Amino acid sequence: MPSPLSGRTVLVTGATSGIGYETARQLAERGALVLLHGRTAEEARAATDRLIATSSVSGSLVRPLAADFARLEEVENLAHGVVRDHPRLDVLVNNAAIAAPERHTLTTDGNEIAFQVNFLAHYLLTDLLAAALTGDPGGRVVNVSSSLHRTAAIQWNDPQRIRRYSRLAAYAQSQLALTVFAADPRVTAVSVHPGICETGLLSVYGNEGDSAAEGAQHVVRLCDPATGIVNGAYYDRSERVSPAAAATDDRTIKRLNKLADLLVGHTA
């Protein structure tokens, strides 16, 4: 029997390593056409070649795409290219993430780098892909979030954390924002904490974790149209649980959208 994912088109951001790479592999193995995003064209192509060489996946099911999320102009170009080439997008997996650096760092767009890469770039990408995403039943956005969102507060008066910077607090803020964004009514979206996994972000959490492939299984399950979802739901691995209170607060959702529109240069 064909997989429910067969014939569906899925864009996975940050898919050159870790959970993103394993998510792309598992989706393609189930017959989905995977748009594999990397920071550079070289990284995306290398990951695509590696995936095809080390699995049973046909080359026709994986397409490399590139955009540096530290540059919002590249995010816009990525979105326009996807809409042009894939006017029907079934799933967007917002997975790309970085650990906030030790020193406070602003992007060329003027945003704290973890806030931009982990949240604002995905906010902009989702907004620009909304028309392609909202068509078919089962169409959805899956935000790869973190249990650390529970420790966070969005610094409304200083979202760039210029006055007081902490690496962990900056990372947690970006994950809370991504989790709040799942409740946005524009598209059907959920968030998932895939567990603590052996990826490039492990240093944020501790010393050991599950394999990236295990973490990816929880993401892939939510991409499957056979898995029913409720907009704004939050999953800790495979279990639906309540997120931080802010993530379901209407006022916070509206306030975050207003802030994000301002920071990505869009007016609501």
pLDDT over 70 at 206, yes or no: no
- Element housing 179 (H / E): helix 167-181
pLDDT over 80 at 236, yes or no: yes
Map tokens 């989706």 to a residue.
Answer: 27
Q: Pick the residue with more confidence: 131 or 14?
A: 14
**DSSP string of 62-109, one letter each residue:** EEEEE--TT-HHHHHHHHHHHHHH-S---EEEE----PPPSS--B-TT
Give catalytic residues, as residue numbers: 171
Rounded (10°) angle between helices 167-181 and 250-263: 110
Please compute, for residue 13, the number of CA atoms within 13 A of its CA located in the half-sphere on the CB side.
28
Between the CA of residue 48 and those of 3, 52, 201, 210, 214, what are the distances in Å? 22, 6, 21, 23, 20
pLDDT over 50 at 34, yes or no: yes
Query: Does the CA dihedral 96-15-3-146 come out positive or negative?
Result: negative
pLDDT at 207: 55
pLDDT at 51: 95
pLDDT over 70 at 203, yes or no: no
pLDDT grade, residue 268 (50/70/90)? very low
Mean pLDDT to the nearest integer, 8-32: 96
Mean pLDDT to the nearest integer, 40-59: 95
Mean pLDDT to the nearest integer, 11-39: 96
Map tokens 């650390």 to a residue.
Answer: 148
Predicted confidence (pLDDT) per residue in 153-164, tens digit: 899 999 999 999
Q: What length is written for the chain?
A: 268
Between the CA of residue 256 and those of 68, 156, 174, what are the distances in Å? 23, 9, 11
pTM score of the predicted model: 0.93
Mean pLDDT to the nearest integer, 210-227: 87
Mean pLDDT to the nearest integer, 91-111: 95
| Average per-residue pLDDT for the chain | 90
pLDDT grade, residue 239 (50/70/90)? confident
